Each structure stands twice: as C-alpha cells, then as structure tokens.
A and B are shown apart, each in its own frame.
Chain A
C-alpha cells in the first residue's frame, strides 16, 4: 500500500448499492431473519431461567429488588467492567479533540454578541423548573432502587438528562476537559466499585464477595457513588469535545491524514 497517504489518488464518495445489490441484500437479510426466528422459536417456551435461583438467594444479597441484586451483587463483575467501559468511552471521545483545542471547553467557541442568557426564553423557563425536579426524581430512584424498580443506572441517567437539559438551554457551560473535578467524578464510580469488591478480601473472601452482613450497606454506598459517576460521564459524553473556530472548507481531494490548521 502507498507509504505516502497523499499519493493515494483521487477518491470518490462510497456509492450507494445499486438495485441488484439491494435485492441481494434484502434476500440475505430475510434469510437471516428466518434463520434467527427459527432458532429463537426453538427455545423452550416455558423455561423459568434463573428466576427461581435468584429469588432463592435474594435474602443473602442485601437488597430486595432482584435486578439490583443481580447487577450489583450476583453479576457484579459485569457491572464493574461496564463502569470501566463508560470511562474508556469518555477517554476515547476526549482523545478525538482536534489539534490545538486540547483542554478547552467542549462545544463550539462562544459566539460574540450572543445574549449571555442564551437564545430561547421558553426553553430556559421550562428547564429552570424541570431540572430541579429531575434531580429530585434521580434521588428518589436511587433511594428506592433497593426494593422497587430503580437503582443507580436509572438515577444516573436521569441526572445526566438534567445536566444535558441545562446544556441545551444554554444555562450551563460544560467544564473544560483539562479541569480536575470532572475527571475525578468520572473515575470515582469505577474506583468505588473496585474498593467495594476488595472490601471482603482481608476476611479471606474472594474478589467481589461481599461480607454477608455488610452486603446491603456496601451496595447502597456503591450505588450512590455510581449514580454521580454515571450522570457525570454520560453528560460529558453528550457535551463532546472542544471545537475549533469554524474551519476553512477542507479540500475534497485526496484524503489527508493531517488536519488543516
């Protein structure tokens, strides 16, 4: 392959598939659907799955909501890795910051002359009312998560939605990507879960094996930190990366790996 990407030659946009290709694609997708449908319908239609196993051991898990018990106790390993994935996605998104903008505030640069309150009074009035209610709902979802539907993920996403509403209404600017506190909050969820997983080990237990009497308290603590971390990470993911001032139109010639400066 060409060592110098600029010598790759002229490029054109990927063409849409023609009618023959589309017909073949439709047939292939229908065949796949038929095969998958057959496999899925062949599953036993009355199997109880793991529900009796979970409800049999629910009393030991420290919480009353079976989904929370599975998420934070029985299959805590999956949730631990999921907080890692969230963190990794944030790092990956921030690593795509254009050259020269590293550490800046996400989003387009502030426009001169725009009224400081943002452009839309109806949206702002509504958000001024809605965002505190959303925070209240998040706290409620976190608190009832141990015995009713709810929990850390649900509460965290409602928090993230409140933050995104403030962002969209222009009532808050996201923190600069170089500042410390968003990084601390994003990492805190993963670290809190690891700490809880290690908590039982001095007593001779395994990684992620909670001490029986403490399981409920540990889960509640981890869920609280996880809510804040999930809310912050999701909101930061939506806020995106710092953008440079409007770029010059890039040449639609050979693909360049350097960005226009």
Chain B
C-alpha cells in the first residue's frame, strides 16, 4: 500500500517536472517562463529529497530556484530597460519601480 503511494507521488512529480520544463520554454511571455523555471527548481528540490539526497536538495533550492531565478529576472529587467528594448517586456512592472 505504501509502496503504491510512493510510486504515485514519484510519477506525478516526474510528470510535473517535465511539464513545467516544457511550459517554461514554450510560454509566450518570458516572465511567465522564468517564474515557471523557479517553480521547476523547487520541485527539483523535492525530487532530490525523494531520491535520498538532502544535501543536494538544500543546494538546489537555494541556487537552482533562488539565485538562478533572481539572475534571470534581473537580466529580463535590464534587457527590457534599455531603449530600443528587447523583444519581450516583463508582464507588469514589479513593486512600482519604473524603468
């Protein structure tokens, strides 16, 4: 019984990971894609826990979800900020800061 529950959880997690990765790359708005990537990183941390790797889960949650997400959001902000701006702007300005 417990074995089947574990298997179901792992299967749902694996499908979610693949689905999130797909949507992150395929979503029309880049901001949405980056947010989905952050969620993907957090679910990867859960996957590491399921694989018996708490050290890796800690590192992935902090770096993969946290720092990489901030890096991407700042890059998106800069590319949207310069004049002759890039192809995609963030969906809405964050916390009232105007470029």
B95/A149 in contact, CB under 8 A: no
B84/A252 in contact, CB under 8 A: yes
The answer to the question of A127 belonging to the interface, with a C-beta cut-off of 8 Å to chain B, is no
Q: How large is the interface on A (under 10, 10 to 19, 20 to 34, 35 or more residues)?
A: 20 to 34
Known: A119-B96, A120-B95, A247-B82. Is A157-B70 also a contact (CB below 8 A)? Answer: no
The answer to the question of A96 belonging to the interface, with a C-beta cut-off of 8 Å to chain B, is no
- A238 vs B72: C-alpha distance in the bound complex, in angstroms? 10
Count of chain B residues near A, Cβ 8 A? 21
CB-defined contacts of B58 to chain A, threshold 8 Å: 141, 149-150, 154, 157
Q: Distance in Å from the Cβ of A250 to the closest Cβ of chain B? A: 6
A123/B95 in contact, CB under 8 A: yes
CB-defined contacts of A154 to chain B, threshold 8 Å: 55, 58-59, 62
B67/A157 in contact, CB under 8 A: yes
The answer to the question of A248 belonging to the interface, with a C-beta cut-off of 8 Å to chain B, is yes
- A157 vs B67: C-alpha distance in the bound complex, in angstroms? 8
Nearest residue (CB) in A for B78 is: A243
- A157 vs B58: C-alpha distance in the bound complex, in angstroms? 9
A168/B84 in contact, CB under 8 A: no
Q: Is the interface of B mostly helix, strand, loop or mixed?
A: helix
- Mask, B61-76, CB within 8 Å of A = 1, is 0110011001100100
- A249 vs B67: C-alpha distance in the bound complex, in angstroms? 30
Known: A120-B96, A240-B74. Is A158-B84 also a contact (CB below 8 A)? Answer: no
CB-defined contacts of B70 to chain A, threshold 8 Å: 164, 168, 238
The answer to the question of B83 belonging to the interface, with a C-beta cut-off of 8 Å to chain A, is yes
Q: Distance in Å from the Cβ of A140 to the closest Cβ of chain B? A: 11
The answer to the question of A139 belonging to the interface, with a C-beta cut-off of 8 Å to chain B, is no
Instruction: Say which residue of B59, B84, B97 sits within 8 Å of A153 (CB atoms).
Output: B59
B82/A150 in contact, CB under 8 A: no
Nearest residue (CB) in B for A252 is: B84
Q: Distance in Å from the Cβ of B49 to the closest Cβ of chain A? A: 10
The answer to the question of B19 belonging to the interface, with a C-beta cut-off of 8 Å to chain A, is no
B71/A238 in contact, CB under 8 A: yes
CB-defined contacts of B55 to chain A, threshold 8 Å: 65, 67-68, 149-151, 154
* Max count, chain B CB within 10 A of own CB: residue among A67, A154, A158, A164: A154
The answer to the question of A187 belonging to the interface, with a C-beta cut-off of 8 Å to chain B, is no
CB-defined contacts of B78 to chain A, threshold 8 Å: 243
- A123 vs B53: C-alpha distance in the bound complex, in angstroms? 32
The answer to the question of A234 belonging to the interface, with a C-beta cut-off of 8 Å to chain B, is yes
- A120 vs B96: C-alpha distance in the bound complex, in angstroms? 8
A246/B67 in contact, CB under 8 A: no
CB-defined contacts of A215 to chain B, threshold 8 Å: none
- Mask, A130-171, CB within 8 Å of B = 1, is 000000000001000000011101100110110010001000
CB-defined contacts of A161 to chain B, threshold 8 Å: 62, 66-67
A248/B83 in contact, CB under 8 A: yes
- A68 vs B53: C-alpha distance in the bound complex, in angstroms? 12
- Mask, B30-52, CB within 8 Å of A = 1, is 00000000000000000000000
CB-CB nearest 3 A-B residue pairs: A149-B54, A157-B62, A249-B84
Give chain B's interface residues, CB within 8 Å of chain A. 53-56, 58-59, 62-63, 66-67, 70-71, 74, 78, 81-84, 95-97
Seed contacts A149-B55, A154-B55; 9 additional CB < 8 Å A-B pairs: A67-B55, A119-B95, A149-B58, A151-B55, A161-B67, A243-B78, A246-B82, A246-B83, A250-B84
